[in-house]
Amino acid sequence: MSFPTVLFTPLLVVVVGYWLVVIAGGADPDAGSDAGDHGPLHFAGLGGVPVPISLSLVIVFAWFASLAGGEFHGPIPLWAVLIAALGLSWLLARLLIIPIRRLLPDGPDVSRADFVGLTCIIRTGRVTSTFGQAEVHAADGSSAVVQVRQAGADDLHSGSEALLYGFDPDGEFFWVVPTDIATRGH
């Protein structure tokens, strides 16, 4: 409870309280994910992770550094301990954020609608307006078996190639058309 640690103690209490609320499910730890990619945190080398992570690391390291510096400062003035604690906390947080960035997902979440526009191979004996399955390969090389439907009465049977041209989120299926029909106009 002495200077400079006393300046960081209320902030540390807020950080601990916030993470307890996150653990209990009452807050989103990804809050402010985009805010860390621009602005002062990004400029300081603390971007690329959610803002609560960056700020929590800086506050925790500053509290510990000011506590240790306050005990062992010797002839160094306490205001210099405060500045050193802030600098050390920034440096340690910046170094720790580098591996954390690699662990966090990058880019938008994958959606089934990403399959629209890809070709697929029919895996059921036929495709109707109420029945059918097909295998589709994603850009990353993975494959999925998806539910497919057709609006017409084209001959779509096991082994035939079709184009996924739409996704129905309510029915959770894709609309398909034979690839030869899809490419006739081109």
On average, the pLDDT of the chain sits at 87
0.85 exceeded by the pTM? no
**pLDDT value of position 20:** 95
Alpha-carbon distance of 62 to 44, in angstroms, equals 16
Identify the CA nearest to 147 among candidates 122, 110, 174.
174
- Kindly give, in sequence order, each residue whose CB lies less than 8 Å from that of residue 93, ignoring residues fewer than 6 positions away: 46, 54, 57, 58, 61
What is the Cα Rg of the chain in Å? 28
Q: Is residue 87 predicted with pLDDT exceeding 70?
A: yes
Q: Is residue 36 predicted with pLDDT exceeding 60?
A: no
Alpha-carbon distance of 19 to 52, in angstroms, equals 9
Q: Residue 28's pLDDT band (boundaries 50, 70, 90)?
A: confident
Q: Residue 143's pLDDT band (boundaries 50, 70, 90)?
A: confident
Helix count (H) and strand count (E) of the chain? 5, 5
Mean pLDDT for the stretch of residues 124-133:
94
**pLDDT value of position 73:** 81
Query: Which CATH class, in words, describes the domain spanning 112-182?
Result: mainly beta
Q: Is residue 144 predicted with pLDDT exceeding 70?
A: yes
Mean pLDDT for the stretch of residues 96-115:
79
Alpha-carbon distance of 86 to 93, in angstroms, equals 11
Could you give the residue range(s) of every CATH 2.40.50.140 domain in the chain? 112-182
